[in-house]
Structure 1
Amino acid sequence: MSRVVVKVGSSSLTTDDGHLDHAAIGPLVDALVEARGRGDEVVLVSSGAIAAGLGPLGLGARPRDLATQQAAASVGQGALLEFYARSFAEYGLRVGQVLLTIDDVTRRSHYRNAHQTFAKLLELGIVPVVNENDTVATSEIRFGDNDRLAALVAHLVHADRLVLLSDVDALYTGHPSLPDSVRIERVGGEDDLVEVDVTRVGSAVGTGGMVTKIEAARIATAAGVPVLLTNAAQAHEALADEPVGTRFEPTGKRRPARLLWLAHASETKGSLVLDDGAVRAITQGKASLLAAGVSGVEGTFSAGDPVDLVGLGGTVVARGLVNFDATELPAMVGRSSRDLAAALGPEYEREVVHRDDLVVL
């Protein structure tokens, strides 16, 4: 038995006028059910909520402003999940909706809840249907595209592989429409991407493109999860692990899942400038960040927010969840923990960023 995360894009699920394409969704569900029949556990990351809301709202194209996008997502998400629920029910399977924002997976308690929800759904035999929570997400707390979301979910649920289904059947050395373009069957590292065409942008109803898919593959493979990129029409072959599309081989080992989310999913709210000793302690000594190593504070943030940790030369060396508000830190800069405890109280003796909440970039 293996666990597979499958991502399908808006262009594969909707018609040109924004309505759900039932004829396209049916075969996708069939392929997922086949995989379940082989004993695989399946998590579906599905775009299409905003696109599915365009038709009912009478919108001819994807709106540019966030408020209208959220209104379309509110209408479309229900229609999308309803169709998935009816389609899977024909095979005796149930679906469970999981809507995520970046906050849900970078703050410790939220992250733990998300992990436990996925674990329980899979234990109960439910097919999780995942999407970004477009209805409430602000521009500051968005994943930006479901390709990246899928890569992060694949690591969160400890998937054995990630399948990205698009409107393109593989990576090519040139634009897919050109006769001399050649399909790239395998990507083993960055050197294999030198001649890859990334000029194809996302469709009119989606946000992704080849760049986002390559970035998603980088995130997943760096964390030890192999990736297969192909089109939705080859979902059956992809899930059966047949030789279709482009395969991205793992380039790294699994790391603590929450740190992967912190590195790739979070938008920082500010930065802490570190002296050279603190930079060495964090990047080489695997230490926590103490106030004594901080020489400057930039931005507006609250305790628990993600911040960049920056060297004196301006290079971002790490990212972490800060334990103090931006208004508290200026009085703490450069001072020892013992001095802070004596002057401000014992609650100020703790780390500015704990090592468990820090990822070196």
Structure 2
Amino acid sequence: MNSDIRKKLLNGAKRIVVKVGTKLLVNAQGHLDQVRMTQLVEELRWLVESGYETILVSSGAIVTGLEALGLSKRPKELPKLQAAAAIGQGLLMHLYQETFSKHGVQIAQVLLTAQDLEERRRHLNAKNTFEALLAKKVVPIVNENDTVAVDEIKFGDNDQLSALVANLVHADLLIILTDQEGFLKNGDVVRTIFEINEEIETWAHRANDWKGIGGMQSKLEAARMMMRSGESMMIANGFTKDILKMIFRGEEVGTFFISKNVKMSGKKRWIAHFVRPKGGLVLDEGAIEAVCQKRRSLLLPGILDIRGIFKKRDAVSLFDEKRYEVGRGEVAYSSEELKGMIEEKGKKNSKKAPSEVIHRDHLVIL
């Protein structure tokens, strides 16, 4: 049954994001493995020639830069890491260009920071750029702009970056290639996951060999982002020969995260994944039921408290009375306006309350 669902989803997929981590690009000595890169490019070329719109999210810039600088150890100082990234990104792209061009495939470099995708206008500009590239059958190669990104504005790791890019372009499938067979439980690969529950989280914590910034927890977070948006994700072993062909033939490889949710609109994805909430609203039980279960707009009478200072059209968090975040939305009023409205609501001769504080089309349940 699950294999039938898998094949149906794969048959309907058109736009694919493939994420490749540093482990897949370096050899045992920690140097960039050009043979492995060639094999990867050949598989991606097959995707393009098979008619799939393909985006590659690739790590490896810092490692490549460190090698060029003759450094055997990764420095701790941020400026040195950023310098390595600046050198390595150019070298990495040159290698990709050489390898892809042998197959007649054009590539493009896209470097992003979290700020690029948080601000709505820049977000849409980035999306339009991807659309233009894909329309010309160009393969965008994406990485975080490590040269300018700092801890406060970093994506966290390229697992999450790949999920954000997949959400930005409304990709049908995100494939994270790693050095593991998939999500493991008691040493066995779980082939299909429909929900990331407490049991899945527990097993992710037990995966002690998945250490570092790109471990299983970050991959689960990427899967959670995709599934929340109504999209699918796969974790598979990038060292397996022809792994992408095996995936699209419907073979039982890797772990497939399959969403039960309806696909989100672009505006809702932006609110759910890209924007940092500027404040919050505490809701009563009636409002929680209305927005979470009945999928209605948020009305003024359901607001118990206002947290923080925000402007009209800012994104805010929605909390229940225990201060648990249940959703996010784009507000139609500033915090100052809402405070005045709540005060007015308490007066005997107050005017009719505004119909909607957050419209349901601009509201996301977490």
- Quickly name the TM-score band, shorter chain normalised: 0.7 to 0.9
What is aligned with 1:360?
Answer: 365
Q: Is the 8 A contact 1:18 1:53 kept in 2?
A: no
Question: Which of 8, 18, 28 is residue 6 of structure 1 equivalent to?
Answer: 18
2:296 corresponds in structure 1 to 286
- Does 2:242 match 1:236? yes
Cα deviations across residues 54-90 of structure 1 (Å, max 9, x unaligned)? Answer: 2233443444454433332222221221211111111
Q: Is 1:116 paired with 2:128?
A: yes
Cα deviation digits, residues 156-209 of structure 1 (max 9, x gap): 3232322110111222224xxxxxx22323323346837745423556xx6211
Q: Alignment length, in residue pairs?
A: 340
| Cα distance in structure 1, aligned partners of 2:301 and 2:126 | 31
Give the equivalent residue in structure 1 for 2:112.
100
One-letter amino acid matched to 1:286: R
Tell me which residue corresponds to 1:262: 271
Gapped regions of structure 1 (runs ≥ 5):
175-180, 340-348
Contact 1:31 1:235 survives alignment (8 Å)? no
* Identical aligned residues as a percent: 39
Query: Structure 1 stretch 140-149 or stretch 59-68: which is displaced more?
Result: 59-68
Alignment of 1:37-48 (within 5 A): 37-48=49-60
- For 1:139, which of 143, 148, 151 is the aligned residue? 151
| Residue matched to 1:252 | 261
User: Which shows bigger deviation, 162-171 or 63-72?
Assistant: 63-72
How many angstroms does 1:316 deviate by? 1.9
CA distance in 2, matches of 1:292, 1:253: 26
Report deviation, 1:303. 6.7
More deviation, 279-288/71-80: 279-288
Partner of 2:7: none
Cα RMSD after superposing both structures: 3.4
Letter in 2 for 1:260: R
Structure 2 contact 295–360 (Cα < 8 Å) conserved: no
**Alignment of 1:168 onto 2:156:** no
Deviation at 1:44, TM superposition (A): 0.6
Q: Distance in 1 between matches of 2:18 and 2:39?
A: 14
1:173-322 to 2 correspondence within 5 Å?
173-174=185-186, 181-190=187-196, 193=200, 196-198=203-205, 199-200=207-208, 202=210, 207-234=213-240, 236-241=242-247, 242-274=251-283, 282-283=291-292, 284=294, 286-287=296-297, 293=303, 295-298=305-308, 306-321=315-330
CA–CA separation in structure 1 for the residues paired with 2:111 and 2:269: 19
User: Counterpart of 2:318 in 1: which secondary structure?
Assistant: strand
How many Å separate the matches in 2 of 1:60 and 1:354?
A: 54
Q: Which amino acid aligns with 2:262?
A: K
Question: Which stretches in structure 2 are left out of the alignment for 5+ residues?
Answer: 1-12, 346-353
Distance 1:259 1:50, change over 3 A: farther
Q: Is the 8 A contact 2:283 2:302 kept in 1?
A: no
CA distance 1:360–1:251, change in 2 (3 Å): closer
Q: How far apart in 2 are the matches of 1:151 and 1:46?
A: 13
The 2-side partners of 1:223 and 1:61 are apart by 39
After superposition, the Cα gap between the structure-2 partners of 1:320 and 1:269, relative to the gap in structure 1 and judged at 3 Å, is: same
2:101 matched to 1:89? yes
Q: Does 1:79 align with 2:98?
A: no
Amino acid across the alignment from 2:36: A
1:140, 1:290 → 2: CA distance? 33
> Relative to 1, partners in 2 of residues 1:253 and 1:274: Cα closer, same or farther, differing over 3 Å?
closer
